[in-house]
Chains A and B, each alone.
Chain A
Amino acid sequence: MTAIGIDARGASHAFDDAKTRYVPPWRNPWRRPYFLSTITWLYVLWSLVPVLISIQFSFNDSRSRSSWVGFTTDWYVGRDGIQEGASVVDNPELLRALGNSLTLAVATTLIAVPIGTALALGLSRWQSRTSNVANGISLFPLVTPELVLGSALFLVITTLYTGFVGLGKEALILGHVTFSISFILVIVRSRLSSIGTEFETAAQDLGATRMQAIRTVLLPMLVPAIFASGMITFAASLDDFVVSNFLYGDATNITVPVLLYSAVKSAPSPALNALATLLLIGTLAALLLTYLVLRLRRRGDGGSALDDLASVEM
């Protein structure tokens, strides 16, 4: 936006100056920032090319994950391809991990989003000393390192809560919902405060009860924020490693990130790259959907949905 304006002005500026006197580059604020753009593009390459190469090797026609032989889809769908039981669809362990990860992410989203949304509604309107305490408790998980949260849940589930829940699927869901509630709270509450209370008041003045006002006026306005927080919960749950690694228990409940971690040392094969690629596709699909919905919402007011995503992540 402004940068384009600067460019146009800069061009004429530099032209005028060229006639009159020499301007060293550091005195000319309108010169093109070649140095910064080079660093930026090098960083983008550095951050993304390794992942692209890793995807490339999921199609490698060899057991090697580091030297390229030729193209094959055997590591995804091969039956008796390179080696029996080696591809993702042929290996029950890999398939189970993929299934576990998806189930966990869906369950986490379905449980965490209602709880987090209700918490956001409650805490944004309920003003008392107790609500301040609740507010503090609800923000703490955001700033707690995952290692601390993971080991705390592990210790308490293996001691105090042994009668109620064991390591495994339930523990994973409990852990993932715990770290999700807080950021759902932050996302939904920031939308709530930008909506304000006027619409609810208006609805009530027109005869709606408080519950009706929430259900028919406030909730529909919150839908984009609830949807975005749901998709981000889904992606975050799919991607989580630290908490899962403490809580998964045994191999039947393993998730994809934990499997990647444990298999890379023991039995690395391009099937792992294939699994990582599938995980990536799942995450990106969730985010793309979020982006499109946010863009639909932002259509008209000129803002950028990408900026929304960037601010949502903080």
Chain B
Amino acid sequence: MAVAETTEGQRDRSARFLWPSLAIPGTAWLIVLFVVPFYGIMAVAFSEGYDILGQPIPAWNPFTWNFTVMGDVIQGSLTGLYQTAWLHTFLYSAAAMTICILVGYPVAYYVARLAGRQRGLLLALILAPWWINYLTRMLAWVGLLQQDGYVNDFLGIFGIGNIDWLGGHWYVVVLGLAYGYLPFFIVPLYAYLDRIDQRLIEASRDLGANTFRTFFRVTLPLSRIGLITAVVITALPMFGDYYTNTLVSGSPSTGMIGNSIEQAILSGFSRPQGASLVLLLSAVLLVFMAYYLILIVRSSREAR
């Protein structure tokens, strides 16, 4: 009896240290390489001044934070230098998101609920582009949209002349974004639609609703959360996208805020401006990020 008590006691004591010590390396890693870097954005955005090489001196002490650059960047975002980039970001993302919803919803719905024997095959086919490198997929379109590419060859059949698709057109950027992010939109929506109870849809039909009424009164409301999730998951990377734009347009006339950030941070002496823009972008996306975070926490609670 006494022996059993001691082992019990040892178990408890070892347990007190075992689980935290397993969690410590990962947590420490994320503090050093995620939390501190995020603070680093603020330190650079609110930096104290410039060193002799022209690089900003980060203000690690919040009491020395200097908000002049941030003020200028906010001013520039509202009325000046960055205004068009923000406008493009919102308009292009909204347009691309509309295409994602109009194409992605029917596809996800069909594969999840109606595909029958083709379901496995179709699921593999809609998962495939998720794992094909984004740049490979964009590169493919850059080839197709060349002056002598297949798209112009195809349009030539109908007598439509050579079009310079890659010359900096907003609609090519929007289509590029939609093409790029549709797989990331469809898969989470699919996973959600897959879980809707078929009996509810059948009940609606049994009670006399036609296909449209069933869709708008039953299916769509039931899939609301899935739709919001898919929009959030897609919007987060889309708002920060700069590479799609560079590849299919490359023209500053279609530049989005991601392009301004990449330029400011990587190529030049305007890192505080870049860091300020990253902070503004994070603030814009905060609602999306919070929603997604709550969703993950909730689903891991349910699993537990």
Decide: B274 and A156 in contact? CB cutoff 8 A: no
Among A77-85, A91-99, A102-110, A140-148, the one that faces the other chain is A140-148
Residues in B neighbouring A2, C-beta threshold 8 A: 198
B255 at the interface (CB under 8 A from A): no
| CB proximity of A34 to chain B, nearest CB, Å | 11
Decide: B131 and A40 in contact? CB cutoff 8 A: no
Distance, CA A159 to CA B190, complexed state (A):
43
Residues in B neighbouring A175, C-beta threshold 8 A: 33
Interface residues of A in 120-141 (CB under 8 A from B): 121-126, 130-131, 134-135, 137-141
Given contacts A155-B271, A280-B133, are A3 and B19 in contact (CB under 8 A)? no
Distance, CA A194 to CA B303, complexed state (A):
7
Given contacts A53-B140, A137-B34, A190-B303, are A142 and B296 in contact (CB under 8 A)? yes
Decide: B31 and A261 in contact? CB cutoff 8 A: no
Decide: B214 and A29 in contact? CB cutoff 8 A: yes
Question: Which secondary structure dominates where chain B touches chain A?
Answer: helix
A304 at the interface (CB under 8 A from B): yes
B217 at the interface (CB under 8 A from A): no
Decide: B34 and A33 in contact? CB cutoff 8 A: no
Point out the residue from A118, A155, A256 that lies within 8 Å of B22, measured CB to CB: A118
B61 at the interface (CB under 8 A from A): no
Decide: B110 and A37 in contact? CB cutoff 8 A: yes
A14 at the interface (CB under 8 A from B): no
| CB proximity of B249 to chain A, nearest CB, Å | 11
The total of chain A residues at the interface (CB under 8 A) is 108
- Identify the closest chain A residue to B149 (Cβ): A66
Decide: B293 and A279 in contact? CB cutoff 8 A: no
- Identify the closest chain A residue to B26 (Cβ): A119
| CB proximity of A242 to chain B, nearest CB, Å | 8
Decide: B25 and A118 in contact? CB cutoff 8 A: yes
Distance, CA A139 to CA B225, complexed state (A):
20
Point out the residue from B23, B30, B119, B210 that lies within 8 Å of A131, measured CB to CB: B23
Residues in A neighbouring B110, C-beta threshold 8 A: 33, 36-37, 39-40
- Identify the closest chain A residue to B293 (Cβ): A143
Distance, CA A282 to CA B207, complexed state (A):
52
Decide: A29 and B131 in contact? CB cutoff 8 A: no
Residues in B neighbouring A137, C-beta threshold 8 A: 27, 30-31, 34-35
| CB proximity of A273 to chain B, nearest CB, Å | 7
A20 at the interface (CB under 8 A from B): no
Decide: B34 and A178 in contact? CB cutoff 8 A: yes
B71 at the interface (CB under 8 A from A): no
| CB proximity of A98 to chain B, nearest CB, Å | 13
Point out the residue from A66, A131, A310 that lies within 8 Å of B148, measured CB to CB: A66
| CB proximity of A261 to chain B, nearest CB, Å | 6
Decide: A53 and B143 in contact? CB cutoff 8 A: yes
Given contacts A40-B111, A155-B40, A261-B135, are A48 and B128 in contact (CB under 8 A)? yes
| CB proximity of A7 to chain B, nearest CB, Å | 6
Decide: A273 and B139 in contact? CB cutoff 8 A: yes
B87 at the interface (CB under 8 A from A): no
Decide: A54 and B143 in contact? CB cutoff 8 A: yes
| CB proximity of B193 to chain A, nearest CB, Å | 11
B242 at the interface (CB under 8 A from A): yes
Decide: B30 and A153 in contact? CB cutoff 8 A: no
Residues in B neighbouring A124, C-beta threshold 8 A: 304
Distance, CA A265 to CA B30, complexed state (A):
35
Residues in B neighbouring A293, C-beta threshold 8 A: none
| CB proximity of A22 to chain B, nearest CB, Å | 14
B101 at the interface (CB under 8 A from A): no
Decide: B40 and A159 in contact? CB cutoff 8 A: yes
- Identify the closest chain B residue to A116 (Cβ): B26
| CB proximity of B265 to chain A, nearest CB, Å | 5
Distance, CA A2 to CA B140, complexed state (A):
38
Residues in A neighbouring B92, C-beta threshold 8 A: none
B6 at the interface (CB under 8 A from A): no
Decide: A279 and B103 in contact? CB cutoff 8 A: no
B76 at the interface (CB under 8 A from A): no
B15 at the interface (CB under 8 A from A): yes
B222 at the interface (CB under 8 A from A): no
Residues in B neighbouring A116, C-beta threshold 8 A: 26
Residues in A neighbouring B146, C-beta threshold 8 A: 65-66
Decide: A51 and B132 in contact? CB cutoff 8 A: yes
- Identify the closest chain A residue to B17 (Cβ): A126
Spell out A's residues near B (CB within 8 Å): 2-4, 7, 26-27, 29, 33, 36-37, 39-40, 43-44, 46-48, 50-51, 53-54, 57, 64-67, 115-116, 118-119, 121-126, 130-131, 134-135, 137-149, 151-156, 158-160, 174-175, 177-178, 181-182, 185-186, 189-190, 193-194, 204, 209-211, 235, 238-239, 241-242, 245-246, 256-257, 260-261, 264-265, 268, 272-273, 276, 279-280, 283-284, 287, 304, 306-307, 309-311, 313-314
Task: Please give me the 3 A-B residue pairs with the lowest Cβ-Cβ distance, nearest first.
Answer: A122-B23, A119-B26, A147-B240
Listed by A's residue number, 30 A-B pairs whose Cβ atoms lie within 8 Å are A4-B116, A29-B205, A43-B126, A43-B182, A44-B126, A47-B126, A48-B125, A50-B140, A51-B136, A54-B140, A66-B148, A66-B149, A67-B153, A125-B19, A134-B23, A143-B293, A145-B237, A145-B281, A146-B240, A148-B38, A148-B240, A152-B41, A241-B133, A241-B135, A246-B265, A276-B135, A280-B133, A283-B131, A306-B124, A311-B191
